[in-house]
Amino acid sequence: MAERTLHGTGATPRSGVGSVVWYGRDISLLDPDGVEVDPETEIERFADAVDTARTELESEREATAERVGEDEAAVFDAHIQFLEDPTIEDAVETMVSEGLPAPNAVDAAFGEHIEQFEGMDGRMAERADDLRDVRDRLLRLLTDGERVDLGDLPEGSVVLAERLTPSDTAQLDPERVAGFATVTGGRTSHAAIFARSLALPAVVGVGDALESVEGEEEVVIDGDSGKVVVSPDDTERAAAASDSGAAVVDESVETTDGRHVEVAANVGRPAELDSAAERGADGVGLYRTEFLFLDRETPPSEDEQYEAVREALDTFPDGRVVVRTLDIGGDKRIPYLDLPEEGNPFLGERGIRRSLNPDSDLFATQLRALLRAGADGAGDLAIMFPLVATIEELEAALDTLDAAAAEVGGHDADAVAPEVGVMIETPSAAFMADELAARVDFLSIGTNDLTQYVMAADRENERVDDLHDPTHPGVLRAIHRTVTAAHAEDAWVGMCGEMAGDPALTELLVGLGLDELSMSAVTIPEVKTAVSETEYSAASERGDRARLAATRSEVHTTVDT
């Protein structure tokens, strides 16, 4: 076939080349009209399919736990629960007894539930993906459909799919898979985030044009430009095959004039720790602990949280691990925590607001787990509070931390005292950075939320994408203000929003005075290289010019020259 190029959204700035394996739902249902159905046989077939699906899920769970980690494996527990959901089972049986063949009844019963979840926000909407996954598994078993085993693909496979669910992505082995592309999905979809954390070339949201690519055709996945090149020429093939990104820099880096900048990783799941270490991270600059609370029925115990944090500290025995306390609300929802329905959840009960009330028990448990983990063994723990807007919130959080330290450390609370910091994500925190910095060891700028609130532009809404850009001078001035305030109080200041991982902005951020940059593992080598090629004194002048610019285009002229 002749070469052709399809366009989507690049999810990881990496390219890969390989042979197409299509993965997905390839099941046609019978037209139930005029079909003779024996309800008893159909109910038996359904029960057998549920049994087989359970066995498959249990073995996939075990294999994923071994290969990737317990957290990723937990998604299969959720699937087993959906599989055994009595409401769905009753609905299937009722429809079968009314004359529908079992596959059609499964499709209809799951369809109703899927629709309900699709109408909800954020994480709840992801449950719709889990339900689709379970439905498709049952349909495959009921219709003798074949399904590709994602955990056992030939080396050099490129997976193409309508969509990849959380359990699908958890099975992909980066050693064997050269990349993936999906018909649906955006940069913040679960599949895209997973690809970034494992540096897997990926393009999402290609649209129906992707369906024209045949199995076994050779394709290049260019996750930087968002292109899928079918039947590439030799030059494109060679360029993609040799793209392993910048060389990994294991040692810590400084600018040409000797200013040290820490380059750390953002992680959310234990499996991402190895990927971060392999890409030369100095430590962890943001551990999003809310991931430990997802895909399960009850919160993780103090001991489970202790183990997860110990694993991070053991991965970076000579580095710092900044653990952010539970940050839910907004777009992050956890079904069992019964979050309120809010008209504007991004301006509602989020982050530290929930930890102080109503999740104060969870907060105290988490702090005990962190303090215990920090006191045992290697690695330097730092604790960070999300979405702080007032000094009162910080002081209440510090009081809870003191109480937890007294419980854990007995008389010697100092023995378990890690560094403590605050995220700068609200305009109020940026304005109050001096007062905040006077009370803590460090500040870390969360530009994803800070940009959203400074620019009044929803981080999830592509219609205001142009405004949700941290290089607007309004955001740069908030960053500069924060850095100056922190340094005046002898606190260090980092950045853990997505902005920190863009190598094109490294010089600007170093020039603005950031001491630490923390990012998804994939661009750590590029950012480390960019730091070591930066001259701090020149970057600092340029940083001043950028923040004093009047428009974003002036900022870009300054950064690019």
- Please, what is the minimum distance in Å from the beta carbon of residue 427 to ligand PEP? 13
Asked if residues 107 and 92 have their Cβ atoms less than 8 Å apart, the reply is no
CA distance 425 to 399: 21
CA torsion, ordered 299, 304, 308, 313, to nearest 10 deg:
130
- Please, what is the minimum distance in Å from the beta carbon of residue 466 to ligand PEP? 18
Count of CA atoms in the C-beta half-sphere (13 A) of 492? 15
Q: Which is nearer to ligand PEP, 129 or 449 (CB)?
A: 449
Query: Given the rule CB under 6 A, which residues bind ligand PEP?
Result: 286, 288, 327, 425, 446-449, 496-497
| Of the candidates 92, 66, 241, the residue with the CA atom closest to the CA atom of residue 171 | 66
Structure tokens that stand for 323 in this block = 């653990």
Q: Which is nearer to Mg ion, 451 or 529 (CB)?
A: 451
For the question of residue 496 being annotated catalytic, the response is: yes
Structure tokens that stand for 367 in this block = 């702090």
CA distance 133 to 140: 11
CA quadruple 422, 425, 426, 427: dihedral positive or negative? positive
Binders in 439-468 for Mg ion, by CB under 5 A = 446, 449
Structure tokens that stand for 443 in this block = 């500040």
**How many residues lie near Mg ion (CB under 5 A)?**
3
- Please, what is the minimum distance in Å from the beta carbon of residue 325 to ligand PEP? 12
**Options 468, 472, 480, 496, the catalytic residue:** 496
> Quick one: DSSP state of residue 8?
-
DSSP per position, 10-60: E-SS-EEEEEEEEES--------TT----HHHHHHHHHHHHHHHHHHHHHH
Q: Which is nearer to Mg ion, 96 or 334 (CB)?
A: 334
Q: Which helix (H) or strand (E) holds 203?
A: strand 202-204
- Look at strands 253-254 and 227-230 and give their pairing: unpaired
Q: Which is nearer to ligand PEP, 249 or 388 (CB)?
A: 388
For the question of residue 190 being annotated catalytic, the response is: yes
Q: Which does residue 437 bind out of ligand PEP, Mg ion, none, counting CB within 5 to 8 angstroms by kind?
A: none
- Please, what is the minimum distance in Å from the beta carbon of residue 223 to Mg ion? 24
DSSP H stretches of helix in 84-212: 86-97, 102-118, 122-142, 166-171, 190-197
Q: Which does residue 393 bind out of Mg ion, ligand PEP, none, counting CB within 5 to 8 angstroms by kind?
A: none
Q: Which is nearer to Mg ion, 128 or 440 (CB)?
A: 440
Q: Which helix (H) or strand (E) holds 218?
A: strand 218-222
Q: Which does residue 447 bind out of ligand PEP, Mg ion, none, counting CB within 5 to 8 angstroms by kind?
A: ligand PEP
Q: Which is nearer to Mg ion, 110 or 363 (CB)?
A: 363
Binders in 389-428 for Mg ion, by CB under 5 A = 425
CA distance 325 to 308: 13
CA torsion, ordered 87, 92, 95, 100, to nearest 10 deg:
170
Q: Which is nearer to Mg ion, 449 or 515 (CB)?
A: 449
- Please, what is the minimum distance in Å from the beta carbon of residue 109 to ligand PEP? 35
Asked if residues 473 and 552 have their Cβ atoms less than 8 Å apart, the reply is yes
Binders in 341-400 for Mg ion, by CB under 5 A = none
Q: Which does residue 288 bind out of ligand PEP, Mg ion, none, counting CB within 5 to 8 angstroms by kind?
A: ligand PEP
Q: Which does residue 523 bind out of Mg ion, ligand PEP, none, counting CB within 5 to 8 angstroms by kind?
A: none
Q: Which residues contact 490 (CB under 8 A, 6 or more apart)?
A: none
Q: Which does residue 496 bind out of ligand PEP, Mg ion, none, counting CB within 5 to 8 angstroms by kind?
A: ligand PEP
**Options 79, 113, 190, 472, the catalytic residue:** 190
Q: Which does residue 478 bind out of ligand PEP, Mg ion, none, counting CB within 5 to 8 angstroms by kind?
A: none
- Please, what is the minimum distance in Å from the beta carbon of residue 448 to ligand PEP? 3
- Please, what is the minimum distance in Å from the beta carbon of residue 420 to Mg ion? 18
Structure tokens that stand for 511 in this block = 């020039």
**Residue 290 near Mg ion by CB under 5 A:** no
Place of tokens 């689709």: 132
- Residues noted as catalytic: 190, 496
Q: Contact residues for Mg ion (CB under 5 A)?
A: 425, 446, 449
